[in-house]
Structure formats: structure tokens, C-alpha cells
Amino acid sequence: MEKKNLDWSNLGFGYRQTDYRYVANWKNGAWSEGELTTDATITMTECAGVLQYSQSCFEGLKAYTTEKGQIVVFRPDLNASRMADSCRRLEMPVYPEDKFVEAVKAVVRANAAYVPPYGSGATLYLRPFMFGSGPVIGVSPAPEYQFRIFATPVGPYFKGGAKPLTIRVSDFDRAAPNGTGHIKAGLNYAMSLHAIVDAHNQGFNENMYLDPKTRTKVEETGGANFLFVTKDGKVVTPKSPSILPSITRRSLMVVAKEYLGLEVEEREVYFDEVKDFAECGLCGTAAVISPVGKIVDHGKEICFPSGMDEMGPVTKKLYDALTGIQMGRIEAPEGWIQVIE
């Protein structure tokens, strides 16, 4: 297979149309036989549930070329089960989890020419998504749905790669108590657009959202969970019912404990304690683990001792171990890496 002629090392995190995507339709209570198609467009009724009431959810995962030249995907079964949770919460039909994983693999296989080469720093980002495609006018779940997966080659989510970020404490909330913060609903991201545009306009890379009820506890950013490192080297991550259960974060906690022998803690994290941490990172499929150098709370700065030039030492170890596992340099825990045959 000949690779596409792309400038792999200079890709940004953007959409680039690839050759094949997967489509399945839900109608009369059943999913159609899904298939690959070259058609990147969607035609639907003006009254579709997604267009009227934002009934949609999505996932994000990546395919990599390992050191040995195999193409692999990272823990797609967890994306399948998280999407099933999203669908149940949004009154959408679940796409069977085993078929989800097979569809992911089919899309990667069909677009193998777009999987960036080993060492380029780029990856093939996969975007499974589902939306209400049938008409609704009264507020109710749509009668028909479409499930799709497309692939797009991407570089780092944050420009500058491993350069520490500056984030601010947001006055906006991304999730309501007992709302949809724990699922990957498109509407959560629509809600965050004003906050992110405003943050960028003010010179910040991202928003730190606090818990919507008391505004005293750290939740997450618009697209990644937090990891903190204490001064004595413990890895701490916030626990909350309104944050997205990041697959990267769950994996990093295992890596920290099992591979690096670090103490790990998932617990409520009060904003007041953040100033006492030694390191801070944002973790997610797109972000991998991006170091945070500074958090600004209404003019008050918290500067982490790791500084604004490079990742803190523990963050770096976590980054190296996770990407080592993903790229096949370090042996992965059972089931984490699925090879595309």
C-alpha cells in the first residue's frame, strides 16, 4: 500500500477528507447492514432531530503506525461502550459494541494510506458519531438515526506540541448537575464554544471548568481531563459525576501505577489545593497529555514549578510511557492495542 503524499510532520488538528467512511442507518427499530462508502456528504430532512434538537453524540480515537510498522488502534472497545452510554442517555439506539469495533477497524483498513508513518508525530484520528436523522417537530427522540465513522490524519491538538499551556478558570459551566457532562453529547461542545472563543480572545489556550453546583472543585476542560502531580510525586485526578470518563486518563492512571510505580488517586480536587501541586496536565485522545504551565483565576496566577518551557518530569514520564505503549515500543496491557490485519 502506498502512503498518500502528505506533509505528515506538519499536520495540524484539522479535517482532511479521506477516501472511505462507514455508514449504518437505524429505521423501524433495526440497524441496516453497515458499509463503507466514498460519499462524504449527508442528505437529510430539514426537520432531522439533530438539526432541531441537537440529538447527536460522538467519539474520538486514534490509529497509529507502530515501531514495527503495524497499524493499530488504542482501546476501541472503551469508545464503543462510552458511545453506548451516550446513546442511552440521549434516547438514541445503541450501535452494537462489537460492530462498532469492527467498523472502526474497517475504516482504518480502508484508509491505511492515510495512517501517518511511525515517528512522524501524526496519527489517524477516527470520529465515530451518531445523530437523529428522522423528522421531529414535537420535542421527542427522532424516529431514524445514522451512525458514521470517518477518519482524518491529524497532528497535535495544541499548537506547539509539548509547550506548556496557559488556561483560565471559566465563569461559564460546561455541564449541569445531573446533566450530560459525563457523556460525549454534541450539545456539550456547542455549550462550550462561547467560552473557548472568549478564552482564546483573552490569550488563554483552554478553560478550566469547576463543578457547576458549588464552583469549588476542579472538573475538566472543554476537551480533556486533568491530571495533577503532588510535590511528593502522587498522581491525582478529579472525580466527579459530570466529567467525561476519559479513556486516556483511565489508561494513564494504570500506567502511573503499574508501569511507573507511582501512587494514584481519583478523588474530588478542590480548586484551593491546585496551587500546591507540582505539575498539571490535560489528557485526552486529541491532547494526549499536554502540560499546563499556568492557571489564571480572575487575574490571580498559579504557576507550576515545572515552568513554561517544558513538561514536568512526571508528566514527561507518563507521556513517554503512554505513547511508548501506543507506538509499540513498550509492551501494552492485555487488550489495549488492537492490530489492523
Would you please indicate which residues are annotated as catalytic (active-site) residues?
184
Measured distance CA(68)–CA(118) in Å, rounded = 9
Nearest partner of 60 among 152, 191, 145, judged by Cα? 152
- CB of residue 120 vs ligand PLP: minimum separation in angstroms? 21
Q: Where in 53-72 is the site for ligand COI (CB under 6 A)?
A: 60
Among 286, 296, 318, 337, binds ligand COI (CB under 6 A): 286
- Binding ligand PLP (rule: CB under 6 A), the pick from 220, 238, 322, 326 is 220
Q: Which of 156, 164, 179, 223 binds ligand PLP (CB under 6 A)?
A: 223
> Which of 214, 210, 218 lies closest to 236 in space, CA to CA?
218
Residues within window 112-171 making contact with ligand PLP, judged by CB under 6 A? none
Compute how many residues bind ligand COI; rule: CB under 6 A.
Answer: 5
Per CB under 6 A, the list member of 132, 155, 179, 223 interacting with ligand COI is 223
92's contact among ligand PLP, ligand COI, none, with CB below 5 to 8 A by partner kind, is none
For residue 156, the minimal CB distance to ligand COI (Å) is 12
Site string (57-96) toward ligand PLP, x via CB under 6 A? ---x------------------------------------
Find the part of the chain contacting ligand PLP (CB under 6 A) among 25-33, 36-44, 217-225, 255-263.
217-225
- The Cα–Cα gap between 73 and 125 comes to 10
Q: Which stretch binds ligand PLP (CB under 6 A): 118-126, 163-171, 220-228, 320-328?
A: 220-228
Pick 237 or 285: Cβ nearer ligand COI: 285
CA 83 – CA 128 distance, rounded (Å)? 9
Q: In this complex, which beta carbon is closest to ligand PLP, that of residue 142 or of residue 327? A: 327
Among ligand PLP, ligand COI, none, partner that 244 touches (CB below 5 to 8 angstroms by kind): ligand PLP
Residue 285 binding ligand PLP, by CB under 6 A: yes
Q: Which residue is nearest to ligand PLP (CB)?
A: 284
| 155, 179, 186, 284: which one binds ligand COI (CB under 6 A) | 284
Cα–Cα distance, 326 to 290 (Å, whole number): 16
- 285 touches ligand COI by CB under 6 A: yes
CB atoms within 10 A of CB 271: 18
Q: Which residues have CB under 8 Å from 134's CB, separation 6+?
A: 27, 45, 48, 49, 142, 143, 144, 145
- Dist. CA 178–CA 139, nearest whole Å: 20
Q: Which is nearer to ligand COI, 122 or 302 (CB)?
A: 122
Stretch of 117-125, 216-224, 265-273, 315-323 lying at the interface with ligand PLP (CB under 6 A): 216-224
For residue 4 the three cell numbers come to 498518500
Task: Name the residues that contact ligand PLP, by CB under 6 A.
Answer: 60, 220, 223-225, 244, 246-249, 284-285
Task: Give contact residues for ligand COI (rule: CB under 6 A).
Answer: 60, 223, 284-286
